[in-house]
Amino acid sequence: MRSRCLTHPTIALLALFVLLSCGCARNVPRPIAPQPQSVGVAPSGGPVMEQDLQVVQANLKPVYFDYDNYTLSPEAQSAVQYNAEVLKKTPHLAVVAEGHCDERGTSEYNLALGERRAKAVAEFLTNSGVPNRLSTVSYGSELPADPGHNEAAWAKNRRVHLRVSR
């Protein structure tokens, strides 16, 4: 009885076939780098990138107010003037002045006071040469910057925050 064995040449051919079929390099597609999404149109006609929007937002200063007051103190005027200079360089962005209050006072009173604060800042910006692309909203005491219940926290909550968008 003769056994069926693979001979050396057969084994060599099988090994060569396995090496050739497994040893070939595959073409692995390289991912295409994502392109930044545009969020608007710059004055030059080019797109406004999301990171540009974030840079402008990060450079704007909050405007703080005294207790139960919506007039701009000298410090507040300085902050608004600084913001006006930033915003004049970006006339393609819209701006929302968000008025906030501390937790003292009724909800209705704080909403009205927040609106007066937002309008005071918007008016100052307009008078400083910022194009008429401003709107206002009041959050009253609903979105505190500091959740504390003391004068230091309340001082941080009496503010107008400027939010930019395309």
The pLDDT value recorded for residue 53 is 87
| Contact partners, residue 30, CB within 8 Å, separation at least 6 | none
Contact 103/146 with Cβ under 8 angstroms? no
In a domain, 129, yes or no: yes
In a domain, 31, yes or no: no
SS3 state at 77: helix
The pLDDT value recorded for residue 133 is 85
In a domain, 9, yes or no: no
Tens-binned pLDDT, residue by residue, of the chain (166 aa): 555 555 666 666 666 665 555 555 444 444 443 333 333 334 444 455 787 889 999 999 999 999 999 999 999 999 999 999 999 998 889 999 999 999 999 999 999 999 999 999 999 999 999 976 899 999 999 999 999 999 999 999 999 999 998 8
SS3 state at 118: helix
SS3 content of the chain, % helix, strand, coil (to 5): 40, 20, 40
In a domain, 3, yes or no: no
Tokens of 73: 């103190």
The pLDDT value recorded for residue 90 is 87
Separation CA 65–CA 154 (nearest Å): 10
SS3 state at 112: helix
Tokens of 127: 């008078």
Separation CA 131–CA 84 (nearest Å): 10
Count CB-CB contacts under 10 A for residue 102.
Answer: 25
CATH number of the domain where residue 95 is located: 3.30.1330.60
In this structure, which amino acid lies at residue 112?
A
The pLDDT value recorded for residue 91 is 86
The Cα angle at residue 57 between residues 51 and 60, in degrees rounded to 5: 145
Q: Identify the domain containing residue 126 by its residue range.
A: 38-165
The pLDDT value recorded for residue 76 is 97
Number of domains in the chain: 1
Separation CA 95–CA 57 (nearest Å): 10
